[in-house]
């Protein structure tokens, strides 16, 4: 593809993804048609298939990008400090703020998984498993170092992840709290969940 047409094609793909996010969020995956997505992107239905094989392919692109970004945030949080407590705070704050700011896309990423094809679902489940494993290792490390206390690190890890994920379900841009305020408060809750023996 030429240098002239590549940015144009990328812009079209981006517009279709953004339109799909809004359409899936308002109508659900099964209630959205390719015509709805194309119209929201200001394109013809036929143009959608130039850039994406199907409506499900758009969902996969959205889901993969969202999960990969979440995994990156968790890894950045873990890498931010050698101290499990500070790692946990960085992970929870980043994870929570991300799900609040991108609540529309996050709802699709987390609640439309069943609409993915088996192959795509397997890939996304693999990324979700990697996210869970990173958080589980963080909790295990805190327990080993004596700064966390929990009888079931795996269940604790899932509870921590559920905190941030659920923000996308109820958060609204015109709500009472900013993403940062929620992130700070969820850090306090996270410390209690892991039974942290130190305070911030």
CATH architecture of 54-193: Orthogonal Bundle (1.10)
CA distance 112 to 94: 23
Instruction: Extract the tokens encoding 78.
Output: 């873990």
- 8 A C-beta contact, residue 149 and residue 89: no
What local confidence, expressed as pLDDT, does residue 49 receive?
Answer: 86
Tell which residue, 167, 32, 41, 42, has the closest CA to residue 96.
Answer: 167
What local confidence, expressed as pLDDT, does residue 93 receive?
Answer: 96
What local confidence, expressed as pLDDT, does residue 3 receive?
Answer: 43
What local confidence, expressed as pLDDT, does residue 134 receive?
Answer: 97
**pLDDT tens-digit series, residues 57-113:** 999 999 999 999 999 999 999 999 999 999 999 999 999 999 999 999 998 988 899
- Angle at the Cα of 98 from the Cα atoms of 95 and 102, rounded to 5 degrees: 145
In the chain, what are the domain boundaries?
1-52, 54-193
Query: The tokens 């969820």 sit on which residue?
Result: 186
Q: DSSP strand E in the chain: where?
A: none
- 8 A C-beta contact, residue 75 and residue 133: no
What local confidence, expressed as pLDDT, does residue 44 receive?
Answer: 86
- The domain 1-52 belongs to what CATH superfamily? Homeodomain-like (1.10.10.60)
Residue numbers of the chain with a pLDDT score lower than 70: 1-10, 197-200
């Amino acid at each position: 593809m030429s240098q002239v047409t590549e940015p144009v094609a990328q812009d079209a793909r981006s517009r279709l993804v953004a339109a799909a996010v809004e359409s899936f969020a308002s109508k659900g995956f099964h209630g959205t048609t390719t015509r709805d997505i194309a119209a929201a992107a200001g394109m013809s239905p036929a143009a959608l298939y130039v850039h994406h094989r199907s409506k499900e392919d758009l969902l996969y692109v959205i889901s993969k990008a969202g999960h990969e970004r979440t995994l990156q945030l968790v890894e950045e949080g873990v890498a931010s400090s050698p101290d499990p407590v500070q790692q946990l705070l960085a992970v929870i704050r980043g994870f929570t703020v991300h799900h609040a700011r991108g609540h529309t896309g996050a709802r699709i990423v987390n609640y439309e998984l069943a609409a993915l094809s088996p192959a795509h679902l397997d890939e996304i489940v693999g990324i979700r498993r990697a996210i869970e494993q990173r958080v589980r290792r963080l909790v295990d490390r805190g327990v080993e170092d004596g700064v966390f206390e929990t009888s079931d690190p795996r269940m604790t890890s899932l509870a921590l992840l559920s905190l941030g994920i659920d923000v996308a379900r109820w958060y609204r841009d015109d709500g009472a709290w900013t993403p940062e305020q929620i992130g700070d408060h969820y850090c306090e809750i996270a410390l209690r969940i892991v039974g942290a023996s130190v305070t911030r």
